[in-house]
Chains A and B, each alone.
Chain A
Amino acid sequence: MAKKDNGGSTAAAPRPAVNDDIGEATRLRMYRTQVVIREAEQRAFDLFLQNLVKGTSHLSLGQEAVAAGFAAAMQPGDLSFCTYRGHAHTLARGVSIEKVLGELMQRDNGLMRGKGGSMHLTSEKDGVMGSYAIIGAHMPIACGSAWRAQYKGDKDVSVCFFGDGTTNIGAFHEALNFAAIWKLPVVFVCENNLYMEYTPIREVTAVEHPAADRASAYGLESIVIDGQDADVVYRTAQKAYGKARAGEGPTLIECMTYRYSGHSRADPAKYRPPGELDYWKNERDPIRIYRERLLQFGIPAATVDAIDDEVKKAVDEATEKCKAAPPPPAELLTRDVYADGGWAWRN
């Protein structure tokens, strides 16, 4: 697109270039989502060092565009399923920073009041149908949700996020075959951040693109995209959702991306070749890319900065609220094992 001379004008009138198939509002939303993820994940990183976030935490620093793009293209009612690296996908669906940080800090104000923790973020009312800690387990579950939609004639799409490491586990293959033969309205999104936990994915996978190169085995199209560009992600998502809603079956999308932190908070990621992290941080950072994009569209830097500031403030406020929140009460320990709210297995 043509470079526009900003000239200090405000964004009062819609600019033709930005209001294409995506539109300014969606773009600003996607930018904000990415910044929210970046700031919240960075804060989670720091809180872990202070031992305020306990246990383990899998961060999505560097992978913000995938979450933001797929979420922005969803309609209300669409359901997402993600892995233990799910903070980004949870925030992207609109769950508050306070609830996410609160859950990581295992406080009573957390999304699940401390019962689930970082790896199981769930917000049924926002369509976040769980984060799953067993690799691949949620892929057939997403198929089931899609089967329900197909059976009932609902128009929602089930979107399933997973990493490159998942592509070698049994449930991945069962789910893809299953979704393909039943033509289920499910979209499978592989975030290929180049590493299966601590090992480069190409050392443990028989093909170069761990997801896309398997698609043909299930009669699906091979799709690899730049996962650091939210616009690219958004458009790809739109297309896949449309196909699903039209009853044309599942899509498998491989997004090339990168994670800045280790596999989990405990991993300093010393297995990376020198220079690799710098390259992705400097050349392929999704937020930098998107900020540039917005400015190119003529959105004032002040507007973008204002978003940055507002998000930082929101993260600070959420942090303080969480620090002041109590831990979950003892009586929560035995609640909700069964549907009656209790735990009793005998009379």
Chain B
Amino acid sequence: MDVLMPQLGETVSEGKVVTWFKSVGDQVKPGENLFEIETDKVTMEIQAIEGGVLSEIRVPVGEIAPVGAVVAVIGNGGTAAAPASAPAATPPAAAPPPSASTKSAAAAAPPPAAPAPRASGGPLDPYFEVRTPSRNYGPAEIRGVKVTPLARRLAVEAGIDLGSVRGSGPHGRIVAADVKTAPRAALRAPAGPSSAEILALYRDVPHEEVALDGMRRVIAERLQQASQTIPHFYVTTDIDIGALTRLREDLNAAAPRDKDANPAYRFSLNDFIIKAWAAALLAVPAANAVWAEDRILRFGRADIAVAVALEGGLITPIIRSADAKSLRVVSEEMRDLAARARARHLKPEEYRGGSSAISNLGMYGVREFSAIVNPPHGTILAVGGARRQAVEKPDGSVGFASVMSVTLSCDHRVVDGALGAELLAAFKAIVEAPARILI
């Protein structure tokens, strides 16, 4: 059977093989790890579905293949069971097809020898008696346009986005010919200098070449696309985090300790920021939304992606329903996700989705910055570091406060200026009176 590059989500179009656990000629059992791929920002082990002998590796270590491509072949190791009269055809010498009249018409060219039946997929299951294809190739209808099964398969195999293909079949149906003649979606044709030109520019400057891994590729592609296609605008505000800081200290001090004096919990400032952001999104539900090309999707819960820096890149694991989870649950989840993110052991469903993101560079001394919206999110909140600042007190005297600057980046297609400002104001109000997180 053919071993395919697995599909790991609708927006993933290819993967890189990083490890083969078996060599050609090895016996493979169903369920055994067969190869490891790098796709998006994680590496994943892929198990063999059927057993047999690994007869061919088509995509070696280090190479990239599109989703659905054949990466290897597992053979049965023996002949497939055939029915009682084995279908090994005996070719006829010549037998022109008879016509309706009593004598045959002028002898046509002899038909070809009956072809040997193509290799079947193995013995049939008496309860199923067919060899149904083991994978699908996407929905039958894309944005109201029907697509034939063959066209769907060809599109996936060629990496073509059916949304951009015009259908020539009945009722505008997309047929195979339409996919075959569609131009390949070119996502990474930069307008700037080519790789060769840049290398030439730095030829005489000592440098190290760093190969692009899957994560780097995806970051490059995704964010370039985001910055090119999403109409960004930015809203900044300063937030007095005195009350939040005191709350955090109080809660951490009150943590019960076990017999080794380890605290049951330890909250970071970011934990509170996540909870406050969740509360803000729910307070301004129109801003808890994403752009879906021909419509807007608005959510009733806050799934928040939180940027985690990794060696060589970053990834944004998602806290689902952050609004409904306690501070403690959010804190523990965040700790777990961050650890697994750094170990590159996140599952796709753990970093796909969400409506908004948070990026915090405060620990680096950054005062403020603007982040790029991660599609398909509607917003991303960039959090800077805390600083002491002189402020005017209500009685007119001067005092000092701990202040943090945050910048909200918005996709103007779904969040307009006033709405973005409203969202940010809601966040500020919650942080400055942090008991509101409890509501």
Contacts of B126 in A (CB 8 A): 333-334, 343
- Taking the nearest CB of chain A, how far is it from the CB of B131, in angstroms? 10
The 8 A-B pairs at the shortest CB distance, nearest first, are namely A340-B84, A344-B83, A334-B126, A338-B84, A347-B87, A347-B117, A347-B82, A347-B120
Contacts of B255 in A (CB 8 A): none
Sample of 6 more A-B contacts, CB < 8 Å, known A339-B84, A347-B82: A340-B84, A342-B81, A342-B84, A346-B124, A346-B129, A347-B87
| A345 in the interface (beta carbon within 8 A) | yes
**Can you list 18 A-B pairs with a CB-CB distance of less than 8 A?**
A333-B126, A338-B83, A338-B84, A339-B84, A340-B83, A342-B81, A342-B83, A342-B84, A343-B126, A344-B84, A344-B123, A344-B124, A345-B83, A346-B83, A346-B124, A347-B82, A347-B87, A347-B117
Q: For chain A residues 302-347, which have a beta carbon within 8 Å of chain B?
A: 333-334, 338-340, 342-347
Give the distance in Å from the alpha carbon of A36 to the alpha carbon of B81 in the complex: 45
Give the nearest-CB partner of A338 in chain B.
Answer: B84
Contacts of B81 in A (CB 8 A): 342, 344
- Taking the nearest CB of chain B, how far is it from the CB of A51, in angstroms? 28
| A residues contacting the other copy or chain, number (CB 8 A) | 11
Give the distance in Å from the alpha carbon of A68 to the alpha carbon of B87 in the complex: 50
Contacts of A345 in B (CB 8 A): 83
Contacts of B123 in A (CB 8 A): 344
- Taking the nearest CB of chain A, how far is it from the CB of B120, in angstroms? 6
Contacts of B129 in A (CB 8 A): 346
- Taking the nearest CB of chain B, how far is it from the CB of A345, in angstroms? 6
Q: For chain A residues 56-91, which have a beta carbon within 8 Å of chain B?
A: none
Give the distance in Å from the alpha carbon of A346 to the alpha carbon of B83 in the complex: 6
Contacts of A339 in B (CB 8 A): 84
Give the distance in Å from the alpha carbon of A345 to the alpha carbon of B83 in the complex: 6
Give the distance in Å from the alpha carbon of A334 to the alpha carbon of B124 in the complex: 12
0/1 interface trace, chain B 101-130, chain A, CB 8 Å (1 if under): 000000000000000010010011010010
Give the distance in Å from the alpha carbon of A344 to the alpha carbon of B84 in the complex: 8
Contacts of A340 in B (CB 8 A): 83-84
- Taking the nearest CB of chain A, how far is it from the CB of B85, in angstroms? 9
Give the distance in Å from the alpha carbon of A347 to the alpha carbon of B115 in the complex: 14
Contacts of B120 in A (CB 8 A): 347
Give the distance in Å from the alpha carbon of A84 to the alpha carbon of B80 in the complex: 40
0/1 interface trace, chain B 58-102, chain A, CB 8 Å (1 if under): 000000000000000000000011111001000000000000000
Give the distance in Å from the alpha carbon of A346 to the alpha carbon of B80 in the complex: 12
- Taking the nearest CB of chain A, how far is it from the CB of B28, in angstroms? 25
- Taking the nearest CB of chain A, how far is it from the CB of B20, in angstroms? 33
Give the nearest-CB partner of A341 in chain B.
Answer: B84
Give the distance in Å from the alpha carbon of A333 to the alpha carbon of B120 in the complex: 23
- Taking the nearest CB of chain B, how far is it from the CB of A57, in angstroms? 29
Give the distance in Å from the alpha carbon of A346 to the alpha carbon of B120 in the complex: 11
Give the distance in Å from the alpha carbon of A334 to the alpha carbon of B83 in the complex: 13
Give the nearest-CB partner of A333 in chain B.
Answer: B126
- Taking the nearest CB of chain A, how far is it from the CB of B130, in angstroms? 9
Contacts of A343 in B (CB 8 A): 126
Contacts of B84 in A (CB 8 A): 338-340, 342, 344
Q: For chain B residues 126-166, which have a beta carbon within 8 Å of chain A?
A: 126, 129
Give the distance in Å from the alpha carbon of A313 to the alpha carbon of B385 in the complex: 97
- Taking the nearest CB of chain B, how far is it from the CB of A225, in angstroms? 47
Give the distance in Å from the alpha carbon of A216 to the alpha carbon of B339 in the complex: 98
- Taking the nearest CB of chain B, how far is it from the CB of A9, in angstroms? 64
Give the distance in Å from the alpha carbon of A284 to the alpha carbon of B124 in the complex: 58
Give the distance in Å from the alpha carbon of A19 to the alpha carbon of B117 in the complex: 70
- Taking the nearest CB of chain B, how far is it from the CB of A343, in angstroms? 6
Give the nearest-CB partner of B83 in chain A.
Answer: A344
- Taking the nearest CB of chain A, how far is it from the CB of B358, in angstroms? 57
Give the distance in Å from the alpha carbon of A59 to the alpha carbon of B126 in the complex: 35
Give the distance in Å from the alpha carbon of A347 to the alpha carbon of B117 in the complex: 8
Contacts of A344 in B (CB 8 A): 81-84, 123-124
Contacts of B83 in A (CB 8 A): 338, 340, 342, 344-347
0/1 interface trace, chain A 239-276, chain B, CB 8 Å (1 if under): 00000000000000000000000000000000000000
Residue in B84, B123, B126 whose Cβ sees the most chain A Cβ within 10 Å: B84
Contacts of A347 in B (CB 8 A): 80, 82-83, 87, 117, 120
Contacts of B80 in A (CB 8 A): 347
Give the nearest-CB partner of A343 in chain B.
Answer: B126
Give the distance in Å from the alpha carbon of A345 to the alpha carbon of B81 in the complex: 11
Give the distance in Å from the alpha carbon of A339 to the alpha carbon of B84 in the complex: 7
Give the nearest-CB partner of A346 in chain B.
Answer: B83
- Taking the nearest CB of chain A, how far is it from the CB of B25, in angstroms? 28
Give the nearest-CB partner of A340 in chain B.
Answer: B84
Give the distance in Å from the alpha carbon of A345 to the alpha carbon of B124 in the complex: 10
0/1 interface trace, chain B 271-297, chain A, CB 8 Å (1 if under): 000000000000000000000000000
- Taking the nearest CB of chain B, how far is it from the CB of A68, in angstroms? 41
Give the nearest-CB partner of B120 in chain A.
Answer: A347
Give the distance in Å from the alpha carbon of A291 to the alpha carbon of B239 in the complex: 114
Give the distance in Å from the alpha carbon of A345 to the alpha carbon of B82 in the complex: 9
Contacts of B82 in A (CB 8 A): 344, 347
Give the distance in Å from the alpha carbon of A340 to the alpha carbon of B129 in the complex: 18
Contacts of B117 in A (CB 8 A): 347
Contacts of A342 in B (CB 8 A): 81, 83-84
Give the distance in Å from the alpha carbon of A340 to the alpha carbon of B85 in the complex: 9
Give the nearest-CB partner of B125 in chain A.
Answer: A334
Give the nearest-CB partner of A339 in chain B.
Answer: B84
Give the distance in Å from the alpha carbon of A309 to the alpha carbon of B129 in the complex: 53
Residue in A333, A344, A346, A347 whose Cβ sees the most chain B Cβ within 10 Å: A347
